[in-house]
Amino acid sequence: MVRVLHISDLHMGWIPDTRQEDEYWDRFLKEVETACRERPVNMAVLTGDFCKNGSADEFARAGQALTRLSHMLGVRKNHFFFCRGNHDSDTIYAGSSFDHYRRFLEDFYGPEQIPDQGVVTADGVQVFSLNCCKKTSLARFDDAWLDSEEIDRVLELAEAAGDDGVSRKEESPKEKFPEEKSSEEKSPAEKSLDSREETEPVRVLLHHHQPEILDDQSQMIRLGASGLFDCMFSGHLHCYARKYQWHGLTVINGMAAMPHLDFLPRGFQIAEIEKNCPVKAWGYLDAGQDRFREYEIT
């Protein structure tokens, strides 16, 4: 089982006074630290919208907060994974340039250290950052789509994990063999198949938008139909967290860490993911009281 901290929609710059923004992040990060003491996490994922306007300054502040979080949790930076959001183009008025985002990645991980697409972590998690935000503007705020070539590559990399001795489990043994043999009864070949199944990575997709918002669902259908992916994390919705099935994918659609309106609740999530088991998730809700409230996302 792996435990994943999920934060989305940081929106640095939404609080105009940077001193107040710092105070907000002090409180938020302490709550994350407290939650992760109860439920220690192997890794952190951030599903885009680091910024309000995509400026270099906003990205620098996001980088500082996340570096601090990495130290607070004792989770190395190479176990933090990101995808970009519709607020992360260099300016939301400018179209498709994401140079500030690319620089943020280089600064956060270090030169030449940005994790490759489909990298498998030391804990056996294969992570894919999907790029649904390509051209954003205020006028076309929800423009989002996935290119088939990108999904070809994702599927290829997910399948290729098998080349490292990792097999894909088509059906659980109980479904296939009602009278399952005990481990002493199994042949060496069967035992070796079992051990390969155990090492199959947990596969996680990061996608900024809630998947149902895309006009063209063809790539979501391909991802879901492959049966390769254990969880998709997404954001963009802001005001509440939910867990649901979408075209065969289990989706955690998380709250914003900093939503677009003052009065909206805010928060973060922790998910437990295990191969061939339902994903469990908890939300941590800032409803303006002393402490964030923990609840199970059902």
The residues of the shown chain that bind Fe ion, judged by CB under 5 A, are 49, 85-86, 236
Q: How far is the CB of 166 from Fe ion (least distance, A)?
A: 34
Residues 3/39, Cβ–Cβ less than 8 Å: yes
Q: Which residues contact 10 (CB under 8 A, 6 or more apart)?
A: 46, 49, 50, 51, 62, 65, 257, 258
Q: How far is the CB of 49 from Fe ion (least distance, A)?
A: 4
Select the residue whose beta carbon is closest to Fe ion and give its number: 236
Neighbours of 211 (CB within 10 A): 24
Q: How far is the CB of 47 from Fe ion (least distance, A)?
A: 9
Q: How far is the CB of 68 from Fe ion (least distance, A)?
A: 23
Which CB sits closer to Fe ion, 86 or 129? 86
Residues 61/100, Cβ–Cβ less than 8 Å: no
Which CB sits closer to Fe ion, 13 or 85? 85
Which CB sits closer to Fe ion, 203 or 209? 209
The closest alpha carbon to 258, from 3, 4, 22, 5, belongs to 22
d(Cα 168, Cα 228) in Å, to the nearest integer? 8
Which CB sits closer to Fe ion, 79 or 209? 209
Q: How far is the CB of 97 from Fe ion (least distance, A)?
A: 17
Which CB sits closer to Fe ion, 86 or 126? 86
Residues 291/275, Cβ–Cβ less than 8 Å: no
Calculated CA dihedral for residues 212, 214, 216, 218, nearest 10 degrees = -50
Q: How far is the CB of 208 from Fe ion (least distance, A)?
A: 6
Q: Which residues contact 209 (CB under 8 A, 6 or more apart)?
A: 86, 132, 133, 142, 144, 234, 235, 236
d(Cα 131, Cα 141) in Å, to the nearest integer? 15
Which CB sits closer to Fe ion, 85 or 224? 85
